[in-house]
Structure 1
Amino acid sequence: MRRSAVLGGRYVLRSLIGQGGTAEVYCACDRVLEREVAVKLLRQASVEERDRARFADEARLLGRLSHPGLVTVLDAATSDEEPYLVMELVHGPSLADCCRGVALATTRVAAIGAQLAEALRYAHDNGIVHRDVKPANVLLAEDDRALLTDFGIARLLSASTGHTATGTAVGTAAYIAPEQVRGEPVSPATDVYSLGLVLLEALTGERAYDGSPAEAALARLTTPPPMPSTLPAGWRDLLLAMTALDPADRPTTVEAVDSLRRLAAETEPAKPGFTGRTDVGESPATRSTAGSLPGSAVVTAAAGQLRTTGLGAVSRPAGLARRAGLAWRWATAAVLALVLVLGVTLWSNTLSGRPPQRDTPAGVPDRVQKPLQDLHDAVEGDR
């Protein structure tokens, strides 16, 4: 079926400005109010009932939110043959466009981070966890506002049911929190972790976890991201706290806002010493939507111990000690490793276009068969 040029008799589609796995975003003209808007539409080739339900959820979630740090929803049609969401058009690049291979100034990153943390605080206060905080979902407006967008997989904290099965990892591989990898319940601390990785990437121009998706997933279960020794001490302390393995050890969004505002008031620039790479950024997906890309990692881990990598020595500030040790994680390491490596390999195959292996590999223990099949079904269902 052809895409309508005019939606609802009002919104005239112009140019495609972004696209993700299931949706496209167009620059459009509102003929009634004579202004430019952004219109998000589901891809017609992949519209399924679950996609429609998620789309309707996003419209309702954003419709109840009003904050300077969130992209404003202006209109929506979720029951039409062509469901669409009308939002304010943000003139400016995404954070992913700005920090790909480039380290941004510490004061600028602090200002951006404070705005994002404040927007997340507002969302959390309204019972919503974003679950997909990443550079491509941060838009930098011409008036210096940083806006968070794409609540397509957000979850209500009070929801007992949803469109994702319990125990399923949902989010973008490079920024997913450890509890998301394990398929555990999400909380505001989940967004704090992802924001910490986003800010670290903006400061270095590099993703924190490099390597294959399986390596990235396994690494974040046992080791915080490596912190370049060239970062100011205040930044290292804050980012280590935000990316603590235990959600209970992470600061709240209110605490993060206060810390970031203090850092924004400082004038110390980021020191040279790390090299930006251009092969680890994700494709630009501006103005409201982006696809998920596999994460990456070159982190070595030992229980309760951090080790040095090429990015510099990693140290754990005394005041940020974890409330619980990491030893318990190793008790199930073998099962987790098998499920994650095989499951994320399926994810990687899906993204690269290679046909997935639907049969469970021989030799997989019986107790792992169902989690592995659930992970496979989740990956295939989100294509």
Structure 2
Amino acid sequence: MSIATGTRLGQYEVQDFIGQGAMGLVYRAYHAQLERTGAVKVMQAMTPDPDTVARFRHEAQAIAKLRHPNIVDVYDFGEFQGTPYMIVEYIPGGSLAAKMNQSRPDQPSALRYMRGIAAGLDYAHGHGVVHRDVKPANVLLTADDTPVLADFGLAKLLQGSSLKSMTGVTTGTPAYMAPEQVTGSQVGPAADRYSLATIAYEMLTGVIPFDGEALMELLYAQVHRYPRAPSSRNSVLGPQTDEVIMRGLAKDPAARWESCAAFVDALAGALSAATPARPALAKTMVMASPIASTVPIGGVAVVEHAAPPEPATVAVAYPSPIGRDSAPSRKRLRRLNRRLVLGIAAVLVLLLVLGLCEAALAATTITVNPDRVVRGDTVAVTAKHVPANQVGEIQLWSVVHTYPFQADANGNVALEMTVPRDIALGDHMVKICWKNSCPAQAPLRVVSGVAEAAPTPVANATPPATPGVTTPPPGATPTATPSHASGSTPGSTPTPTSRPTSAPTPSPTPTQNPCPTSSQAAAVTTSPATVIAGVTTVTVTGQNFTPNKTVILNYYLGTSLKKTWTAPVGCNGGFTTTFKPAALEIGSAKVTANDGNGRFASATFSILA
């Protein structure tokens, strides 16, 4: 839908067409009484049904109350021919995305942009508003290069709406989308902080964290993979910068920075620490002079002019006591210097060897037991020498399946991993990974359950016959077999003493399984539906699982694995177990149950403060 020039939208008159955004067309409009120019955003991506329009009005009112130098002002909103529109502050300076496409900003400029974006986001979060679509294209730049956040809350307006045309939404947003947005979990301020860390990563390295990925691979990576450390893309950055940004990109929302300002402050400190100080470099250069001065130079003092204020850098040549006949002394000094150099080299080699030995002793190890399984089996994965309390994931290759873990305070990891039933047969690899690195791996072979099954003994099998002896079947009357009489002559006809007679062989009576597996799908329920963190005990009940098996349960808060435990399955295929979420575990939660025999189910519930 286009709007003709001169059309009046409230007190604003449409002047000309500016362009097309994610939500629809954008026009320039003018308010004559206020002598103010605004930008009209026509929400063509929204279906103009009554519920959607009502939700648009509610969200627009909340956004219009925000007043901050780093947030675009909302002037008015309404509907034109049934389609919602919003009139916002007109900022003609372009976007941060356009500027980043021209060149990567230097560190001071990047920090200045980040501080402005962080200030706007923290202000909005304090008023209960989450942006949900923070990206460089939604950061506009004023005439004095001040960053201003646009399109606040428009991503939320799209939720539940029948989308018509979303050009740019599905291709631009996922690169900056938090894991909880990808999985459809509860979204809060932490999602905006994740997007802010993504922008910081891009401004400091020149690429987004998951560069070169297709859409589906990118969405998968946001939830299951860790990006490369920023310093691996820009060598100027140090490990402190890596730690700050990687915390901002944590998969668990609770593990991220507590505010946008805290993230930017930590980033500024890390970048400052990574910048080498010039005085330190000068002192390092001067330290070479005393070594050179150990060789006598004609018995005169030589002053190093590189750093006159520092007394320690003054080098005085050692005077020769024998004047010109100093050749023996020079030779003796050369021998001493040679021995000194060899001694230092030997010490360095020894330290290097000791360091390598220590590193080898402390290297991460991983074991898989058993290492030969069939599809659907459960294996125990253990690892040692992992950083204390490290969060990461166990990966099963070749097609990647991930299992999150958290090491204990001693650096040990132990979890049970169910081999997918659709995995290919053959050799696979189990890897332990964190911070974009997989330091250890172990082999795992998946074989066919039929080929590996042991022969089943038959109840009525006949034992091997003894040569010359005929064993009658059960129920048969033993009879003599035809044989030649003793002393008979060749050619005589043997006379049988009796005919073999037998009764029918009885069939084994089938034994009924006292604990049959239900033909219905496995199911899990939790109660109560709403839980108070740190107070309510959650009861998990399962039905239609494999009888007499052990079910593995996982409790997730959002996408973060919080607890793993087991429960026995009864003869009726059911189980019951309980657990209590911690006091700070608030949000959308899920419990999964897997008996390792192809029966899997899950249930969701909410945790309130």
Report the TM-score, using the length of structure 1 for normalisation: 0.63
CA distance 1:2–1:135, change in 2 (3 Å): closer
1:33 alignment partner in structure 2: 34
Q: 1:232 is matched with which residue: 237, 240, 251?
A: 237
Distance apart, 1:31 and its partner CA: 1.6
| Separation in 2, partners of 1:61, 1:266 | 41
2:197 alignment partner in structure 1: 196
1:208 aligns with 2:209: yes
| Separation in 2, partners of 1:225, 1:202 | 15
- Kindly report which structure 2 residues correspond to 1:141-180, keeping only aligned pairs within 5 A, or say none: 141-153=142-154, 163=160, 172-180=173-181
CA distance 1:13–1:95, change in 2 (3 Å): same
AA of the residue aligned to 2:214: S
User: Are the aligned partners of 1:55 and 1:152 in contact in 2 as well (CA < 8 Å)?
Assistant: no
- Kindly report which structure 2 residues correspond to 1:1-383, keeping only aligned pairs within 5 A, or say none: 3-4=3-4, 5-8=6-9, 10-43=11-44, 47-49=48-50, 52-53=53-54, 55-78=56-79, 81-100=82-101, 102-153=103-154, 163=160, 172-209=173-210, 210-226=212-228, 227-229=230-232, 230-233=235-238, 234-253=240-259, 254-260=261-267, 262=269, 324-327=391-394, 328-329=403-404
AA of the residue aligned to 2:37: E
CA distance 1:139–1:54, change in 2 (3 Å): farther
Query: Secondary structure of the residue that 2:144 maps to in structure 1?
Result: coil
| Separation in 2, partners of 1:243, 1:93 | 27
Greater share of helix: 1
Distance apart, 1:47 and its partner CA: 4.3
Deviates more, 1:35-44 or 1:238-247: 35-44
| Separation in 2, partners of 1:222, 1:55 | 33
For residues 292-347 of structure 1, give each alpha carbon's deviation from its aligned partner in whole angstroms, at most 9, with x where no partner exists.
xxxxxxxxxxxx99xxxxxxxxxxxxxx9876443444969979xxxxxxxxxxxx
For residues 159-179 of structure 1, give each alpha carbon's deviation from its aligned partner in whole angstroms, at most 9, with x where no partner exists.
xxx7479xxx99921111111
Bigger radius of gyration? 2
User: Are the aligned partners of 1:180 and 1:186 in contact in 2 as well (CA < 8 Å)?
Assistant: yes
Query: Secondary structure of the residue that 1:326 maps to in structure 2?
Result: strand
2:572 alignment partner in structure 1: none
AA of the residue aligned to 1:225: P
| Separation in 2, partners of 1:248, 1:35 | 43
2:595 alignment partner in structure 1: none
User: Are the aligned partners of 1:25 and 1:40 in contact in 2 as well (CA < 8 Å)?
Assistant: yes
AA of the residue aligned to 2:223: L
CA distance 1:9–1:68, change in 2 (3 Å): closer
| Separation in 2, partners of 1:201, 1:193 | 12
User: Are the aligned partners of 1:108 and 1:264 in contact in 2 as well (CA < 8 Å)?
Assistant: no
Query: Secondary structure of the residue that 2:148 maps to in structure 1?
Result: strand
AA of the residue aligned to 2:3: R
| Separation in 2, partners of 1:203, 1:223 | 20
AA of the residue aligned to 1:65: L
User: Are the aligned partners of 1:22 and 1:46 in contact in 2 as well (CA < 8 Å)?
Assistant: no
Query: Secondary structure of the residue that 1:91 maps to in structure 2?
Result: coil
Distance apart, 1:61 and its partner CA: 2.2
| Separation in 1, partners of 2:206, 2:221 | 20
CA distance 1:231–1:267, change in 2 (3 Å): closer
CA distance 1:59–1:333, change in 2 (3 Å): farther
CA distance 1:65–1:332, change in 2 (3 Å): farther
AA of the residue aligned to 2:224: T
User: Are the aligned partners of 1:197 and 1:243 in contact in 2 as well (CA < 8 Å)?
Assistant: yes
Query: Secondary structure of the residue that 1:184 maps to in structure 2?
Result: coil
1:272 alignment partner in structure 2: none
Q: Percent identity?
A: 35
| Separation in 1, partners of 2:98, 2:272 | 25
AA of the residue aligned to 1:84: Y
CA distance 1:242–1:85, change in 2 (3 Å): same
CA distance 1:332–1:247, change in 2 (3 Å): farther
| Separation in 2, partners of 1:71, 1:332 | 50
For residues 186-214 of structure 1, give each alpha carbon's deviation from its aligned partner in whole angstroms, at most 9, with x where no partner exists.
12111111111112222233222122112
Distance apart, 1:49 and its partner CA: 4.9
1:289 alignment partner in structure 2: none
Query: Secondary structure of the residue that 1:139 maps to in structure 2?
Result: strand
| Separation in 1, partners of 2:219, 2:141 | 29
AA of the residue aligned to 1:3: I
CA distance 1:250–1:37, change in 2 (3 Å): same
| Separation in 2, partners of 1:322, 1:129 | 31
For residues 258-281 of structure 1, give each alpha carbon's deviation from its aligned partner in whole angstroms, at most 9, with x where no partner exists.
335557878959xxxxxxxxxxxx
Distance apart, 1:107 and its partner CA: 1.2
AA of the residue aligned to 1:232: L
Report the TM-score, using the length of structure 2 for normalisation: 0.41
> Aligned residues, how many?
283
AA of the residue aligned to 1:137: N
| Separation in 2, partners of 1:134, 1:26 | 22
Q: Higher relative CO (CA 8 A, sep ≥ 6), structure 1 or 2?
A: 1
For residues 20-47 of structure 1, give each alpha carbon's deviation from its aligned partner in whole angstroms, at most 9, with x where no partner exists.
3432221211122122211212239964
CA distance 1:185–1:322, change in 2 (3 Å): farther
Query: Secondary structure of the residue that 1:172 maps to in structure 2?
Result: helix
| Separation in 1, partners of 2:419, 2:160 | 28
Distance apart, 1:153 and its partner CA: 3.6
AA of the residue aligned to 1:174: A
User: Are the aligned partners of 1:27 and 1:37 in contact in 2 as well (CA < 8 Å)?
Assistant: yes
AA of the residue aligned to 2:243: D
